[in-house]
Amino acid sequence: MAFRRKPLRFWVGRLLRNLLAWVAIAFALFPAAFVLGTSFDPVQNLRTARIIPTQPTLENYRYLFLERQEINFPRWLLNTVYVAGITAATGVFLCALGAYAFSRFRFRGRRTGLLTILLVQMFPQTVGMVAIYLILQTLGKQIPWLGLNTHPGLILVYLGGAIGFNTWFMKGYFDTIPRSLEESALVDGASPFQAFWRIVLPVARPILAVVFVIQFISVYSEYLLASLILKGMDKYTLAVGLQLFIGEAYNRRWGSFAAAAVIGAALILLIFYALQSQIISGLTGGAVKE
Amino acid sequence: MRLPRISATSTTLLKVVGFSLLDAVALYFLVLLAWEKSWLFVGLIAAGLLGLNVLAFSRRLYPLRYLAPGLFFLVLMVVLPLVYTVYISFTNYATGNILSKSQVIEVLTRRYYLPPNAPTFTFRAYGGEGGLYALFLFGPAGQYVLFPDGRLSRAEDHALQDADNDGIPEAIDGYSLLSLAEVARLSGELQKLEVPFGEGVLRLTTLSTMRVYSPQYAYDPVRDVLTDLRTGKEYRPQGGNFVAADGEKLDPGWVTFVGFANYLRFLRDPLYHGAFVRVFTWTVVWAVLTVVLSFALGLGLAILLNDKTLRFRKLYRSLLIVPYAIPAFISILIWRGFFNTEVGLFNRVLTQAFGIRVPWLTTPFWARFSCILTNVWLTYPYMMLVSLGALQAIPEEMYEAAKVDGATGWRRFVHITFPLLLISVAPLLIGSFAFTFNNFTLIWLLTRGEPVVEIGSRAGATDILLSYAYKLAFMGGRGSEYNMTAALAVIIFVIVALISGISFARTKALEEVSRGL
């Protein structure tokens, strides 16, 4: 019999390794598992909420979509998706334009431009929060819909932060697309923009998707700037609203919070696992981005 | 790619026509704005228009057409804030010093006081269906009719109806006398009245009297001195405020340059110095411990998963990166619940099992411990993924040579795997350090920088530089200290630049980057 030949050490080692892996997995999963379980428990106190509810109900989820006073969950979710979606879509387009120019044209100041963008991008935008706050305040006095407590204002801020790194990232990808693809089109009389729009963009679809998703996720999770800029209950994003909703109320709002956390996380988890390999290579390859 | 040839005539024509229309419309608005003297907007729109036209028609600037849209946002929301932050850090811009000097002079010279001998008017109010019509003012200084819009006219010019001849008309211009109760209802409106009268202004003092207030300050632009007319005291501009010889300071002040004063306060002013040192130390400790611990855990798991004989490796990997896939703000709020002393999950388990309770978020040590634990949980999947990638990139031959030499597993790891891994992972570790250094979200959502360690100081035990900066600007017990926040931000900028500099120097990434251009 074959397994007899393997020494005992082999089997113990194998067992240990699997055991270790499962301990780590337990550590990784227990918060999510606990929240998922208690989200079906109508008990609102974290002290008594049970991971396997004695009487599981969908009460917490129902509450989320009917309540409008203390938690306006559907609104916050919609706001978040709206802000993140617009930022990511516009950001992808702006970055693709810039990356195309850096990748295909040769012009004076190109190298300097690339290095400057890299340099500027190193400074986290959140550190300039006071200046951003004051700029939006000033802007809002002239153009009210772009000021503080507005979604377009917040999108404006996020767009600024999204440009640099992703332009670089996309330029790297564009460099790998053979130029011969566009050159034949150019010979046929297409303008560079047409070549960009009709040929390069379709070929670059995978990278566009990755940049879109990475930007979407990072805006979805952004807290500092959103909490600074958005001040109205109906304007909050999920990060701001959920934080204010739970506050210190773990003993009387846990159930509803858990349900909100499950829905809020599920959306991102779905996207993440659907595009797992592309997102991971994007996130771990370049720089560290939330 | 060469720059494009001039495009086909029909498109060119279309472009020319389109831009002519755009320019015509914009010019129309420019004239309107100039008429209203909104010069800032005239300037901005004119510059924008000129830029657009140059971009559209200059062939040399053709690539800029692709770059301009992105650059616009980058400059507006990254570069401008950077420059603005540096500027603010060298000023005294904070609550009490927000205005310009001329605005401050305007505010101060429009402050009034009541001299003892100020003329007094008694008044009665008159009105009809439409509310208040006017006030009738009388006293030693004369008789006047005062309208709610602030117009003051002499009593002789109006039709006064005073049948009983007691000096108080029953009606003015056909409007009848209002009762005291009706006047009381109008008091909100009346309190707003500020009518220039002689040197001073006429203001409400009671519901039946108004008095003439005198300006408290006079400004002499030649000597640049503000004089208190009541006391004769002189105030001179000094450090953004008008200050008297005895040190008395007038508020509000104005924005002015203060050089390195804000930075020096972090070094010398006891109010900031202790907090700064404490916060800075913790920020470094926190970032180092997070990176080291999560890297150790991530690397360990990566080695485990890299074992080709392990079954279900793909499944394990997918499950282990769950903390990375959940939005951080949700996880942090969950962990905050778990740490809760009264109702939290951890103390529930600990009480049941051992009968103990740990003050997770309420004592400095445990709050710091909780921050690091949570962040290690959030960060190790990233470290694991990075390490896995690096492990797989190490060529097999390296190990074979070692095997021949009879090196054991541990020695192989110390002498081959780890050094090779570190080379490729180091820049990412440094990046992670920089990110953790400024991880406001985690600190803020988990502890808000608390617990308090020193009465009167705004920096708590777990505050990092960025959250301390946030508190200085937006959570003011002492108002908004934008200047101090900006100075702190510049310090963070410098630290980040240093970290990035080290990273670049170490990995020669810049060279690679340059080659990639």
Angle among Cα A204, A209, A213 to the nearest 5 degrees reads 150
- Read off the CATH number of the domain in which A219 is found: 1.10.3720.10
Report the pLDDT averaged over residues B81-102.
91
Given a contact cutoff of 8 angstroms between Cβ atoms, the answer to whether A279 and B321 are in contact is no
Strand partners, B160: B172
Domain co-membership, A85 together with A221 = yes
* The pLDDT of residue B278: 93
Name chain B contacts of A20, Cβ cutoff 8 Å: 304
Q: A36 lies in a domain?
A: yes
Given a contact cutoff of 8 angstroms between Cβ atoms, the answer to whether B92 and B239 are in contact is yes
The first and second tokens of residue B151, run together, are 């117009």
Domain co-membership, A162 together with A203 = yes
- Which of B66, B310, B320 shows the shortest C-beta gap to A24? B320
Domain co-membership, A136 together with A200 = yes
Does A32 lie at the interface with B, CB-CB under 8 angstroms? yes
Domain with A59 in it: 8-63
Does B517 lie at the interface with A, CB-CB under 8 angstroms? yes
Name chain B contacts of A127, Cβ cutoff 8 Å: 85, 438, 466, 469, 489, 492-493, 496
Q: A238 lies in a domain?
A: yes
**What pLDDT band is residue A288 in, cutting at 50, 70 and 90?**
very low
Domain co-membership, A31 together with A147 = no
The first and second tokens of residue A25, run together, are 């997995």
CA-to-CA distance for B441 and B446, rounded, in angstroms?
Answer: 8
Domain count, chain A: 2
SS3 B219: strand
Q: A256 lies in a domain?
A: yes
Each residue of A43-91: pLDDT tens digit? 889 988 888 888 899 999 999 988 777 788 999 999 999 999 999 999 9
Instruction: Find the farthest-apart pair of alpha carbons in chain A and give their distance in angstroms, rounded.
Output: 84
C-alpha distance from B159 to closest chain A C-alpha (Å): 46
Domain co-membership, A200 together with A243 = yes
CA-to-CA distance for A140 and A231, rounded, in angstroms?
Answer: 14
Pairing of strands B171-172, B175-177: antiparallel
Report the pLDDT averaged over residues B11-36.
83
Q: What is the mean pLDDT of chain B?
A: 86
Domain end call among A16, A31, A63: A63
Given a contact cutoff of 8 angstroms between Cβ atoms, the answer to whether A245 and A70 are in contact is yes
Length, in residues, of chain A? 290
Domain end call among A46, A63, A80: A63
Q: A3 lies in a domain?
A: no
Q: A220 lies in a domain?
A: yes
Among all residues of chain A, which has the CA nearest to that of B513? Answer: A115
CA-to-CA distance for B27 and B49, rounded, in angstroms?
Answer: 9
Using alpha carbons, select from B154, B158, B235 the residue that is nearest to residue B197: B154
Q: Which residue type, as a one-letter code, is found at position A27? A: F
Domain co-membership, A133 together with A276 = yes
Domain co-membership, A27 together with A144 = no
**What pLDDT band is residue A10 in, cutting at 50, 70 and 90?**
confident
CA-to-CA distance for B4 and B62, rounded, in angstroms?
Answer: 9
Name chain B contacts of A241, Cβ cutoff 8 Å: none
Interface mutation vs chain B, best among A123, A155, A273, most B CBs within 10 Å: A123
Q: Is the peptide bond preceding residue B116 cis, with omega within 30 degrees of 0?
A: no
Pairing of strands B142-146, B225-228: unpaired
DSSP secondary structure of B56-105:
HH-STTTTHHHHHHHHHHHIIIIIHHHHHHHHHHTB--BTTB-B-HHHHH
Name chain B contacts of A143, Cβ cutoff 8 Å: none
Length, in residues, of chain B? 517
Q: A290 lies in a domain?
A: no
The first and second tokens of residue A290, run together, are 């939330």
Cβ contact A105–B310 (<8 Å):
no
Cβ contact B301–A243 (<8 Å):
no
Does A154 lie at the interface with B, CB-CB under 8 angstroms? no
Q: A2 lies in a domain?
A: no
Domain co-membership, A222 together with A260 = yes
Does B309 lie at the interface with A, CB-CB under 8 angstroms? yes
Cβ contact B7–A191 (<8 Å):
yes
> B46 pLDDT exceeds 90?
no
- Which of A107, A269, A288 shows the shortest C-beta gap to B325? A269
Name chain B contacts of A36, Cβ cutoff 8 Å: none
Name residues whose C-beta falls within 8 Å of residue B374's C-beta, 6 or more positions apart in sequence: B331, B332, B335, B442, B446
CA-to-CA distance for A186 and B4, rounded, in angstroms?
Answer: 9
Which region among B283-297, B391-405, B441-455, B479-493 has the lowest average model confidence (pLDDT)?
B391-405
Using alpha carbons, select from B283, B291, B503 the residue that is nearest to residue B383: B291
DSSP secondary structure of B324-369:
HHS-HHHHHHHHHHHH-TTT-HHHHHHHHHHS----TTTSHHHHHH
Cβ contact A131–B81 (<8 Å):
yes
Cβ contact B84–A131 (<8 Å):
yes
C-alpha distance from A279 to closest chain B C-alpha (Å): 10
Cβ contact B3–A105 (<8 Å):
yes
Q: Whose structure tokens read 């207030």?
A: B213
Does B335 lie at the interface with A, CB-CB under 8 angstroms? yes
Domain end call among A26, A41, A63: A63
| Percent over 70 (pLDDT), chain A | 96
* The pLDDT of residue B477: 67
Name residues whose C-beta falls within 8 Å of residue A205's C-beta, 6 or more positions apart in sequence: none
Among all residues of chain A, which has the CA nearest to that of B380? Answer: A28
Cβ contact B382–A283 (<8 Å):
yes
Each residue of B149-171: pLDDT tens digit? 888 888 888 888 887 777 788 88
> B456 pLDDT exceeds 60?
yes
Report the pLDDT averaged over residues B61-78.
88
Does A287 lie at the interface with B, CB-CB under 8 angstroms? yes
Pinpoint the alpha helices (H) of chain A: 2-5, 8-38, 59-66, 73-104, 110-121, 129-142, 151-176, 180-187, 192-195, 201-203, 205-220, 224-229, 238-246, 254-274, 276-285
Does A36 lie at the interface with B, CB-CB under 8 angstroms? no
Given a contact cutoff of 8 angstroms between Cβ atoms, the answer to whether B167 and B186 are in contact is no
Phi, psi of A114 (to 5 degrees): -60, -45
Interface mutation vs chain A, best among B3, B317, B330, B494, most A CBs within 10 Å: B330
* The pLDDT of residue B514: 53
Domain co-membership, A87 together with A179 = yes
Domain co-membership, A154 together with A245 = yes
The first and second tokens of residue A40, run together, are 């079906």
Domain co-membership, A49 together with A127 = no
* The pLDDT of residue A3: 53
* The pLDDT of residue A286: 47
Domain co-membership, A255 together with A185 = yes
Cβ contact A124–B496 (<8 Å):
yes
Angle among Cα B62, B12, B8 to the nearest 5 degrees reads 95
The structure's pTM equals 0.85
- Which of B74, B389, B438 shows the shortest C-beta gap to A124? B438
Q: Which domains does chain B have, with CATH numbers?
A: 8-89 (1.20.58), 112-215 (2.40.430.10), 267-312+383-516 (1.10.3720.10)
Report the pLDDT averaged over residues A220-247.
94
Name chain A contacts of B444, Cβ cutoff 8 Å: 223-224
- Which of B304, B377, B516 shows the shortest C-beta gap to A17? B304
Going from the C-alpha of A147 to that of each of A124, A132, A136, B269, the distances in angstroms are: 22, 11, 5, 36
C-alpha distance from A244 to closest chain B C-alpha (Å): 10
